[in-house]
Amino acid sequence: MAIFFKIIFTCSVVISLSFNAFAETNPRMMLGQKLMLDIRYFCADNTPSKQCRKPVTQLPDLLKDVFKRHHIGGVILFTENLTTPTQIQQLTKQLHALATEPQLPMLIGIDQEGGRVARLPTDFSPAFAGNMAIGATYANDKTRFAKDIGTMIGRDLASLGINVNFAPTIDVNANPDNPVINVRSYGESVTSVSALGAEFTTALQAQSVLAAIKHFPGHGDTHVDSHTGLPRVEHDRATILAQDVAPFAHIIQHSQPALVMTAHIQYPGLDNTTLLTQSGQQIRPATLSNKILTGLLRERLQFDGLIITDALDMAGIAQYFQPLDAVIETFSAGADIALMPFTIRNLDDIRQFDTFMTALYERIRLASDKAKWVNSYERIARTKASLIAQAKQPNQLAKQAVTMADKQQLATQLARASVTQVSGDVGILNGTASKRILLVMPDALRCAGMRKALQLHAQAHAIDCMNTTTLVAQDPRLHSSYLTQFDVVIAGDISPQISLAEMGGMDDLSQLLAQQGKRNSLTQQHDYIRHVFNRVSATSKRIFVALRTPYTIVDWQAMTDATFAIYDYRVDESTLHSTSLEAFVYYLFSEQQAPGRLPVSLPTPPGLH
């Protein structure tokens, strides 16, 4: 078999005929290569699937057997799978050993976008401030940070044995109410999103890590999270091509990304055909649309890499289709790889997956368009061959040692370069050391992180913090007699609230719902901030910082002395260190102007038209 593959990859004249012959005699291998599973949790004691929460940090024999039996070609890892560099390397080594053939290496993927969607341990690989922070540096630094961070992430992933990154997110964020993309986007400018996405893609792939640009044809103008529903974009075709699709077209042309990830979004301007679902007739989402995946992406944009679906267990697909039907529909539409098509958490799931694979094989065996399946398999094999070829190429950069201090320095540089002051005087707190400061933060961790950041820069007599998530109206600190004693009030906001993409996927849905039932709503949190701003002393400095989406700033400018955007609210739970919060505080007390520039337009303030 090894000799056979050597002939295939060294003799381009016979490549198509050889693959066709191989696929005809090994259809089950062809099928397995088109699936990418997750191994986030597994319970060998057969704990019910929805209750199983035992992380897979070493590959159980039962899962090894599943991968081998069905020739599975790829796997996606989550935070729960990743503890230390040594453990991750051991796990990926186990996974690579499951490859059906040496010439068909396992695709091991991860969502390491940076910012709020980052799975690696942060004491090994910083999450950085994220894409919109990079977008805020574009005016001054152009693509420098996209290149440097793409390189750094690529190096870290490659060193761990991970060869696919589901990044960058190149959705043009045109909707202030977007619940799932927002700061995961570089911004609203097609030009900057295209340039930054292309630079990140090139830098990442230079480290032998395949980039999967997402979410095609664009998730930037939605107000529904496709994890929990099925969004629809009502743009006309011309707008779609000029705005949503344009960054994909640019990056495909200039950076040759290895993969494009589909979006579970209806785009009637591109495909208004319907199909029968469990909820009745529905417009085809892009993931299941031949017009979008084949007609637009494959034929018009001339993309010749791999098309991979977004996770098929997301509600945008799963609430309408059984797993078997979803996989058949997306493959028929032109997708090469189905991501997370079936959840395996226990022994019962393994048995059901065996049945699923048998049924899927039978559907394919009876399909009239076998050539499409074979062509897809060929693309997968060629992509995997490119990984082997890249591994043999000397990487001079990889020989240079990179310390955690180097990574933290880059993280600090990005954080400081991206801080954006929208209104107010430069150095608003310069010269106000030894003052009493009140923090109004969205949760206890942000209270602790901001307190620590302030203590690094200011000698305050007292720093108190109100947690708006759990604050109650009866709290005596809300009385004017308490509030008027503070010289400075700094209020922070995380809007919108955390999404499933940030948490890690659909397995977290029950946890998210439980959190929503135990915390104040955003409206309540904002009411508390207004209450405090309206009752502190007239001489107090009022400062508002948007820790996530900057769009909310317009609601606070009229009642504050200064407003800022920092696009990132990460705080390390053990050290309470936050690169972004420390960068924000630095400019509160500095005579320097914060260099960041808003990468999105703010809505018209309330009452103005």
pLDDT tens-digit map of 329-352 = 999 999 999 999 999 999 999 999
**pLDDT tens-digit profile of 223-281?**
666 566 788 999 999 999 999 999 999 999 999 999 999 999 999 999 999 999 888 89
Distance, CA of 404 to CA of 407 (rounded, Å): 5
What's the full length of the chain, in residues? 609
The percentage of residues in the chain with a pLDDT greater than 90, rounded to a whole number, is: 76
pLDDT band at 19 (very low <50, low <70, confident <90, very high): very low
Distance, CA of 441 to CA of 374 (rounded, Å): 55
Considering the entire predicted model, what is its pTM? 0.92
Distance, CA of 542 to CA of 550 (rounded, Å): 17
pLDDT band at 399 (very low <50, low <70, confident <90, very high): low
Residue ranges per structural domain of the chain: 2-399, 419-588
Q: Judge contact between 476 and 482, C-beta under 8 A.
A: yes
On the question of pLDDT at 502 being above 70, the answer is no
Rg, Å, the chain Cα set: 25
- For residue 440, give the DSSP letter: E
**pLDDT tens-digit profile of 209-228?**
999 999 999 988 776 665 66
Mapped onto helix, strand or coil, the DSSP state of residue 295 is helix
Distance, CA of 183 to CA of 18 (rounded, Å): 46
CA dihedral angle for residue 561, residue 566, residue 572, residue 576, rounded to 10 degrees: -20
**What CATH number should be reported for the domain whose range is 419-588?**
3.40.50.1700
Strand 107-110 and strand 74-77: the pairing is parallel
pLDDT band at 457 (very low <50, low <70, confident <90, very high): confident
Looking at residue 374, its amino acid is V
Q: Judge contact between 172 and 188, C-beta under 8 A.
A: yes
Distance, CA of 243 to CA of 112 (rounded, Å): 25
As to burial, measured by CB atoms within 10 angstroms (0-12 exposed, 13-18 middle, 19+ buried), residue 298 is: middle
What is the number of alpha carbons within 13 Å of residue 451 lying toward its C-beta?
19
Question: What are the residue numbers of the active site?
Answer: 310
Distance, CA of 81 to CA of 161 (rounded, Å): 13
Distance, CA of 306 to CA of 261 (rounded, Å): 9
Question: Residue written as tokens 């695709």?
Answer: 107
**Cis before 496? omega within 30:** yes
Distance, CA of 438 to CA of 466 (rounded, Å): 8
pLDDT band at 23 (very low <50, low <70, confident <90, very high): very low
What does pLDDT average to over the chain? 89
Axis-axis angle for helices 190-205, 144-160 (nearest 10): 30
On the question of pLDDT at 60 being above 80, the answer is yes
As to burial, measured by CB atoms within 10 angstroms (0-12 exposed, 13-18 middle, 19+ buried), residue 519 is: middle
Looking at residue 184, its amino acid is R
**Cis before 217? omega within 30:** yes
CA 321 to chain centre: 24
Q: For position 607, what pLDDT does the model report?
A: 55
What is the number of alpha carbons within 13 Å of residue 269 lying toward its C-beta?
15
Pick the closest to residue 64 from 26, 95, 87, 109 (CA basis).
95
Q: Judge contact between 517 and 464, C-beta under 8 A.
A: no
* E strand spans, 460-565: 462-467, 488-493, 541-546, 562-565
What are φ and ψ of residue 33, in 5° steps? -70, -15
H-type alpha helices, 366-458: 370-391, 404-418, 444-457
CATH class as words, domain 2-399: alpha beta
Element containing residue 92 per DSSP (H, E): helix 85-96
